[in-house]
Amino acid sequence: MVVITQKKGKEGTKGAKQIVEENKSTLSFYRNMFLGGLFAQLFGTFAFFGGASGWDYFFVVFGIIINTACYQFMVFMSKPTLSESGAVVDSGVDLNMPAGVAEHVKDVLILTCGCQVLSLLSRYCWFLWLLVPLRGFYYVWSKLIAPWIFAPAPETNTAGDEKKQRKMDRRMRR
């Protein structure tokens, strides 16, 4: 029998040193994923399939640019600030924070690595990368545009409206 216990109260916060260490391990994981996907694509395309077309070169360069940009952005976000004594003053952004910008960047990096590996099966697997702008459009629509368009009209001053309505009723009766 499994007993599930729930913690009561708020979740504990992380210390600055813990965030720095977790960010280092996260960056190491995504660097290895980036390089693994790149080497799998390069080795598979050029070694096993013999030759490469212009599209293969394009997709190799495209994957390198996207993954490098994502990785460097995560490095920039997580850069800690240290004091002269070496103590952590600011830990930078927590890359493992749920619902943060880093989650979206990691999703793009994972999708690009997946496209690189799946491109060994078919070049058409690169069309999966179109999920990035579609997800971006959905996010902008659901978080920004739709709430603004479909927001209920602001309530007006009802006391003043009632007075105007009575005045209009009197005029109509004359």
The C-alpha atoms of residue 102 and residue 30 are separated, in whole angstroms, by 12
How much is the pLDDT for 141? 92
Task: Please state, rounded to an integer, the average pLDDT across all residues of the chain.
Answer: 84
How much is the pLDDT for 75? 93
CA distances from 27 to 14, 70, 115 (A): 18, 11, 20
pLDDT tens per residue across span 90-113:
888 888 888 888 999 999 999 999
pLDDT of 84 > 80? The answer is yes
How much is the pLDDT for 7? 56
Question: Residue 81 forms beta bridges with which residues?
Answer: 90
Give me the percent of the chain exceeding a pLDDT of 90: 36
pLDDT tens per residue across span 21-33:
898 999 999 999 9
* Lowest mean pLDDT, pick from 51-55, 80-84, 156-160: 156-160
How much is the pLDDT for 6? 56
Can you point out the beta strands (E) in 5-132? 81-82, 88-90
pLDDT of 139 > 70? The answer is yes
Domain boundaries, the chain: 16-132
CA distances from 73 to 33, 66, 106, 147 (A): 16, 11, 10, 29
The C-alpha atoms of residue 34 and residue 20 are separated, in whole angstroms, by 21
More confident residue, 88 or 118: 118
More confident residue, 75 or 160: 75
How much is the pLDDT for 1? 52
User: 40: which residues sit within 8 A by CB, 6+ positions away?
Assistant: 116, 117, 120
- Token pair of 37 as six digits: 């996907």
Residue 86 zone, left/alpha/beta (φ > 0; ψ -120 to 50; rest): left
pTM to 2 decimals?
A: 0.73
